[in-house]
Chain A
Amino acid sequence: MLKKITNIGDCGITCDFGDEVNKSTNMEVIKLFNFIQNSVKTRKLKGILNYTPSYNKLIINFELGQIKSQEIIEFIKSSDYSKIKLTENKKIIEIPICYDEEFALDIKRLETKTKLNFKDIVLKHLETNFFVYMIGFVPGQPFLGDLNERLYHDRLDTPRVKINKGSVGIVEKFCTIYTFESPGGWNIIGRTPFELFNINKKNISILSPGDTVKFKSITKKEFGSFKNE
């Protein structure tokens, strides 16, 4: 449920759905996000510059001088977006992952911490249907959940200076895929050759908030010969 709407500065509002980070809260966020996105596309709502869903909030940025925050707030309050069904345009995407030790930098430590062996960790990761909570920080980076509880683990004490593009990492109940080479503190368990983000394509991001991700194990050889379309 939408708990409250607050101004952020003079050209943004935040729609707050409460403090819980779980799939049902996030689905409420994504419903409102879809509704706003459609309202912008069909020109029912003008002057909107960006909309950014996260675990439990939707932030909307607008062009000052085109629309006032109060108008957007009233637009949201007077509409019945919560009836939107999320199943219609949501995709299930299979992402290849290679768990070879060259890529799975933290799996040995996870074996010790979780008291699971390599095979069990991989199995638990593969059997999960991941929900795309949000995308961002850098272009195309998805935040997926929820991991099997046995795999819950803290962030690295000292983040790595460089994590390769395509690396798959886990922290707490979340899983992410690095879409750019960057620093990072997630526990790396594998790597995908699949390009999730390409600004030059019509569909620049394979994933959207609300989609489902299923990982598929591939060998190092398959990793090497993988071709993105």
Chain B
Amino acid sequence: MNNYFKVLRPGINSTFQDLGRFGLQHLGIVASGCMDQLTFCTSNKLVGNKISEGALEFAYQGPLIEHVGETVLVAISGKVNFNIIKKNDEIIKGKPNESFLISNGEKIDILSTINSVYGYFSIFGGFKIEEVKGSVSTLVKAKIGPNNGDKLKVGDKIFFNKSHQEDKTNKIQFDFDKDNIIRVMKGLQIHYFSKKSQEDFFSKEYKVTKLTDRMGMRLEGQKLENIVNKNIKSEGITKGSIQVPGDGQPIILLSDHPTIGGYPKIANVITADYDKLVQKIPGTTIKFKLVDLPVAEKAFQEYVRKF
């Protein structure tokens, strides 16, 4: 039997993601993968999947989908406002971070993320989607990944692997880090910036602007003065690098970043604070705190304990 969800409204940027596609950056293919790893893994845990199973990532407004076929266990993770619409059109307020059963003819309407950007939708047994070079992550700009490498569209059918009738739901206590301090390590070209600009960067507030997506987050704040050269010889880029182009306003490179780039980098976000960073909505002000490698490694150990 065909079990699937019919997409009635796709949402703003709904894509399949997992933990990323690795080993191909030397050919220009960035790892991609879910933006917020902890929230992603939470949705899989809720339905009893392995934490790396592919899930549907949505940003701000998610999709409206209708279930067709056998009953199945699903979950939505993050801070998300959503409804379950019964067959008789009765609307029930959904509870994020808690798995629930969904049956033929019922709809899930993911209205919005609350004071955050990304949420995830997982299904027991996983989605029936094709791996591309070992991953189901989607890189829309290069059309790489399942669903022809594209975002969800109206009329798409999302097939899934298994049914699940057993009414045994699961709940995980969940909240985001509320503070706006992002810990960073020194970037390769930090000395390209004046002493004053280095001090500004680590002490002044920077605002997340609307020019933010899966590729990068543009910030606005005290202009950073480059005293060496506004360009460097193009070099490989790492997720979380903070580059500063000629206009002096920093850009944090996120999961779908270009693989090489020619702007100097002032700092790099530590792994433990990346999930917190990507959930900051435009208008939020963040502050950078300089740490060294041992601190970053210790922070990582604390971060993995949450999984």
Contacts and interface: CB of A to CB of B under 8 A. Distances in A.
Given A9-B268, A52-B26, A180-B142, A65 B300 contact: yes
Q: Which of B234, B236, B304 has the most CB of A within 10 A?
A: B236
Interface of B: 20, 22-29, 31, 132-133, 141-144, 149, 185, 187-188, 233-241, 258-261, 265, 268-271, 293, 296-297, 300-301, 304
A51 B25 contact: yes
A50 B28 CA distance: 11
Nearest to A20: B233
A197 B26 CA distance: 13
A64 B307 CA distance: 14
Interface string A83-121: 000000000000000000000000000000000000000
B271 A138 contact: no
A64 B302 CA distance: 12
Interface of A: 6-12, 14, 19, 21, 33, 37, 40, 49-59, 61, 64-65, 68-69, 134-141, 143, 179-180, 197, 199-200, 204-205, 208-209
Contact of A205 (B27, B235, B271): B27
A8 B241 contact: yes
Nearest to B265: A8
A50 B258 contact: no
Contacts of B270: 9-10
Contacts of A204: 24, 27, 29, 133
A21 B233 contact: yes
Contacts of A51: 25-26
Contact of A140 (B22, B28, B265): B28
A70 to B, nearest CB: 9
A33 B25 CA distance: 12
A144 B259 CA distance: 17
21 contacts: A8-B188, A9-B296, A12-B268, A14-B235, A19-B233, A21-B233, A49-B31, A50-B23, A50-B24, A52-B260, A54-B233, A54-B236, A59-B237, A64-B297, A65-B300, A138-B142, A138-B259, A139-B29, A180-B141, A204-B133, A209-B26
A77 B233 CA distance: 24
A8 B239 CA distance: 10
Contacts of B188: 6, 8, 14
Given A9-B269, A10-B270, A136-B260, A52 B300 contact: no
A47 to B, nearest CB: 11
A136 B238 contact: no
A9 B296 CA distance: 8
Q: Which of A10, A52, A180, A204 has the most CB of B within 10 A?
A: A10
Q: Which of B31, B188, B260 has the most CB of A within 10 A?
A: B260
Contacts of A205: 27-28
Nearest to A179: B28
Given A9-B185, A9-B238, A10-B293, 18 more contacts: A8-B268, A9-B296, A10-B268, A10-B296, A14-B236, A52-B25, A52-B26, A57-B236, A135-B26, A135-B28, A136-B260, A137-B234, A137-B258, A140-B27, A179-B28, A199-B144, A204-B29, A209-B26
